[in-house]
Amino acid sequence: MDRKFSTLVQLTGQMDAEMVEIDRLLDDKKLMELVETDLSERSPHSTKTGRNSIPVEVILRMIALKHLRYLSYEKLLKNVNESLVLRQFCRIYFHSLPSKSTLIR
């Protein structure tokens, strides 16, 4: 994690208990490997060709947050864009957010 970003998050707030627990669960390397394998089987060429993709961890965390908070894709993107805590949870930090169409796929 970016050290500057971490400092900013500490100044603005913390994740609630439910998000802390989900964050811990989503940090499981084996889970990420399973999700990456599943997604690469759906689009076998995606790991070798085309432009750089959004990390699987970012997509998974954003979808988890969408369901946790009962958000539309539009509201999800707005909330994550405006919150340093949610950017940290989704592992976006200072990077651009994925588009709505990327999340839907």
Please state the pTM of the whole predicted model: 0.79
- pLDDT of 69 reads 94
Q: Domain coordinates of the chain in residue numbers?
A: 3-104
Count of residues for the chain?
A: 105
- Burial readout 2-34 (b: 16 or more C-beta within 10 A, e: otherwise): eeeeeebbeeeeeeeeebeebbeebeeeeeeee
- Does 25 have pLDDT greater than 90? yes
pLDDT 10s digits, 64-93: 999 999 999 999 999 999 998 999 899 998
> What is d(CA 35, CA 14) in angstroms, rounded to the nearest whole number?
27
